[in-house]
Amino acid sequence: MKRVLHVIDHLQLGGAQSLLLDLVTLMEKSEWHCEVASMHGRGLFAELLEKKGISVHSLSPSLWPPCYLAAFASLQSQFDILHFHLSGSNWIAKPMAALLGNQPRISHDHGSDDFRFRGRGFVLMDAIMHRFSTHTIAVTPEVKQFLTHYEALTAESVTAISNGINVEEFRPFTSEEKKEARLFFDLPSEAFVVGTVGRLAPEKNQTLFLKAAKIALEQGLKATFLIAGTGPEEAALKKCAAQLGIEHSVRFLGQIKDRVQLYRSLDLFVLTSRFEGLPMVLLEAMASGIPVVSTDLEGIHHALEGGRHGLLIPSEDEIALSDCLLHSHERIQQESLRSARLKVESDFSAQKAAKKLGDLYQSLLSPNISHRLPMEAGK
């Protein structure tokens, strides 16, 4: 059995954390022993991982002061493969691992293929730090193309493995399960409930969600709007809801431990991001049989097959979103919900992603592959 250490910036609510939870719990246990190291703190997903029997290491009590260097130096030597998620672990822990050991070092790129989101400085730093990777995983073919074009990675050094969700956990639910979920969140059983899930940050653009909600409410929609997540924009979004006069129709739920229950409480899921790779929350909603509305971004367009499995709107268009809120029941048919579920089962299953990841691990452990730094290769 080979030992794999996944290193991630933090274990608060996020798509990368959701993916990590599913991957480490679905890997073949007879072949792979997985543990997780958070660069700083613990967070919601530390508890969820430990409930699944996954050991979690916190390399530093907090982001500042950073105390993770010595802890990681000691920990990394105990593993056969090191797998890095998000920028902090890739920019700090991965170079350390390259200098300290000779294990395969995998960089998991969860980002968008939009240059505006990454920015020139980020792309330059990322390109430099990718030189410390043995291999890179891109969450969509578009992200792989971005990495080969803008960060000068070779096509052979990047594997596209789509984000996947646990299709046994996230599944269509019964009317009784929906009733239980409504009770769990103290929601009226007859209410029309619209929700969004994600980090409360500028790139997620939950302000659009609030503006569209105001328009729809003014046009007669009787609905409750849920926002699940935490982040730097939380206070500003609560202020925005108050300024729009809709604070009594909007509930901020904070971090949600039971996302399955949350999706079961919804009648409509909305994603308003300005930039995304392949968002886990969208796939979870699709697998749960919930109608979805999303901004039309490349990875999302691919997942929804141009609108076949949900409604697509232009970014920053609150009028288009409010129209979807008012008429989603007319525009999204049961057949679309069934096809969305089948799409996730076929292309975005965490079970299949875990199998592909295991195959990649096996290939990187070949004795014919060197994991030394490029500058050491000639020694």
Tell me the three-class secondary structure of the chain, residue by residue.
CEEEEEEECCCCCCHHHHHHHHHHHHCCCCCEEEEEEECCCCCHHHHHHHHCCCCEEECCCCCCCCCHHHHHHHHHCCCCEEEEEHHHHHHHHHHHHHHHCCCCEEEEECCCCCHHHHCHHHHHHHHHHHHHCCEEEECCHHHHHHHHHHCCCCHHHEEECCCCECCCCCCCCCHHHHHHHHHHCCCCCCCEEEEEECCCCHHHCHHHHHHHHHHHHHCCCCEEEEEECCCCCHHHHHHHHHHCCCHHHEEEEECCCCHHHHHHCCCEEEECCCCCCCCHHHHHHHHCCCCEEEECCHHHHHHCHHHCCCEEECCCCHHHHHHHHHHHHHHCCHHHHHHHHHHHHHHCEHHHHHHHHHHHHHHHCCCCCCCCCHHHCCC
* CA dihedral of 347, 353, 359, 362, whole degrees rounded to 10: 160
Instruction: Give the chain's length.
Output: 379
Among candidate residues 194, 260, 267, the one with its CA nearest the CA of residue 227: 194
Is residue 142 within 8 Å of 115, Cβ to Cβ? Answer: no
What pLDDT, on the 0 to 100 scale, is given for residue 267?
Answer: 97
Q: How far apart, in whole angstroms, are the C-alpha atoms of residue 144 and residue 286?
A: 24
- Cβ within 8 Å of residue 133, ≥6 positions away: 84, 90, 94, 105, 106, 107, 157
305-351 pLDDT per residue, tens: 999 999 999 999 999 999 999 999 888 888 999 999 999 999 999 99
How many other C-beta atoms lie within 10 A of the C-beta of residue 249? 19
Give me the phi and psi of 192, to 5 degrees please. Answer: -90, 115
What pLDDT, on the 0 to 100 scale, is given for residue 379?
Answer: 42
Catalogue all structural domains in the chain, each as residue range(s) with its CATH number.
2-164+350-376 (3.40.50.2000), 175-347 (3.40.50.2000)
Is residue 163 within 8 Å of 157, Cβ to Cβ? Answer: no
Among candidate residues 195, 296, 202, the one with its CA nearest the CA of residue 240: 202
* CA dihedral of 21, 44, 168, 355, whole degrees rounded to 10: 0
DSSP lists the bridge partners of residue 161 as none
- Cβ within 8 Å of residue 174, ≥6 positions away: none
Q: How far apart, in whole angstroms, are the C-alpha atoms of residue 190 and residue 35?
A: 43
Q: How far apart, in whole angstroms, are the C-alpha atoms of residue 213 and residue 219?
A: 10
* Residue 253 vs residues 43, 77, 184, 227, 235: alpha-carbon distances, Å: 16, 40, 12, 6, 13
What pLDDT, on the 0 to 100 scale, is given for residue 370?
Answer: 59
What pLDDT, on the 0 to 100 scale, is given for residue 49?
Answer: 97
Q: How far apart, in whole angstroms, are the C-alpha atoms of residue 183 and residue 120?
A: 47
Q: Which residues of the chain have pLDDT under 50?
A: 374-379
